Structure 1
Amino acid sequence: MASRTFQGRVVIPGTVSAEALVSRGGFNTLASYQTALLLGDKQVKCGDQNNPDLYKKPMAGRAICLPETIGSTTGGMAFYTVCALEKGPACLLFSKTIDSLAAAGAVLAANWTEHPMPVVDQLGDEFLGYVQDGMTVTVGEDGAVTLSDPEPDATGGKK
């Protein structure tokens, strides 16, 4: 299995392994989570129709790989809320420097919920160019992010 490691800056420490979900454009936090929060969608499918990379894809428990967040000032509260409801992403991995609103939501989730999400930023454009949906993402305490191709299932297909 091929793998590649990228080094970023730890914003919220933690270790996790999860399936990658990649947004090549800005991630509108409120638009992405609003429908799931209002309608109680357990899979937390992305509701942002302006994000073709993620629209209608399940986000809960995934390693969200993104350049940056955009949109409403309620973005931080959206991250906090999905984590408090046990519907948050496994982690957030930014190619650029995290913005203050996403950082605020991550800090709230880390300190006031039972379900914090590790956050690493400054992974670089090469990271975002390399990562693909479905890859296995492993985040280390030191901000090392290892990307691996998914392991084949019993039938030889990808999990």
Structure 2
Amino acid sequence: MKTFTGRVISPGETTAEAVVTHGGLNTLASFQKALQFGDKKATCGDQNNPDLYGKQMAGRALCLPQTIGSTTGGLVLYCACAMKRQPACMLFSEPIDSLAAAGAVLADVWLDDVSMPVIDSLGDEFLSYVQDGMAVTVREGGVVEVG
């Protein structure tokens, strides 16, 4: 097991199976099926992301470098949380962008019964180490255990 420490964007603790992308996550393209067509597993619909395309994101530890795409990114994350189709957590190797941070923080503040811990700045070693299917545990203080 390996431990990483990052910055807490949205607090919480969870354990989930990792799903990993080494490219940027286009939130709108990735979550579109979940938000518009009722896909409760939030199967990634972004054909431009070969790491995630066709994989379940809901309930998983989503490990990524950053988000990319349109200005709707924060709203998409908030809506995924409101519909209970969010990842168990989002773990960024790089500093989070303002849009993704906004969605995570708004969901944490406005939604009473939803949790999606978000940690950023975990580093390149984190994204090199974690692989699909690994158990990931998020603890208080931005501590992430992988193994």
Give the gaps of 5 or more residues in structure 1.
149-159
CA distance in 1, matches of 2:123, 2:81: 26
What RMSD over aligned residues (CA atoms) do the two structures have, in Å? 0.7
SS in 2 for 1:142: helix
C-alpha deviation, 1:116, in angstroms: 2.6
Kept in 1, the 8 Å contact 2:12–2:117? The answer is yes
Q: 5 Å matches for 1:104-143? A: 104-113=102-111, 114-143=113-142
1:58 equivalent in alignment to 2:51: no
CA distance in 1, matches of 2:115, 2:4: 22
C-alpha deviation, 1:37, in angstroms: 1.1
Of residues 90, 94, 97 in structure 2, which corresponds to 1:96?
A: 94
Question: What stretches of structure 1 move > 6 A for 4+ residues in a row?
Answer: none
Instruction: Give CA deviations for 1:33-91 in whole Å, capped at 9, x if unaligned.
Output: 01221110111100000000000101100010000000010010010001011110111
Question: Which structure has the larger Rg over C-alpha atoms?
Answer: 1
The AA in structure 2 aligned to 1:58 is Q
CA distance in 2, matches of 1:17, 1:75: 24
CA distance in 1, matches of 2:9, 2:34: 26
Kept in 1, the 8 Å contact 2:34–2:80? The answer is no
Of residues 14, 17, 31 in structure 2, which corresponds to 1:16?
A: 14
CA distance in 1, matches of 2:88, 2:34: 16
C-alpha deviation, 1:9, in angstroms: 0.9
The AA in structure 2 aligned to 1:106 is A
The AA in structure 2 aligned to 1:86 is K
CA distance in 2, matches of 1:68, 1:131: 15
TM-score by length of structure 1 reads 0.90
- Between the two proteins, the alignment pairs up a number of residues equal to 146
Give the gaps of 5 or more residues in structure 2.
none
CA distance in 1, matches of 2:72, 2:127: 25
Of residues 29, 32, 39 in structure 1, which corresponds to 2:30?
A: 32
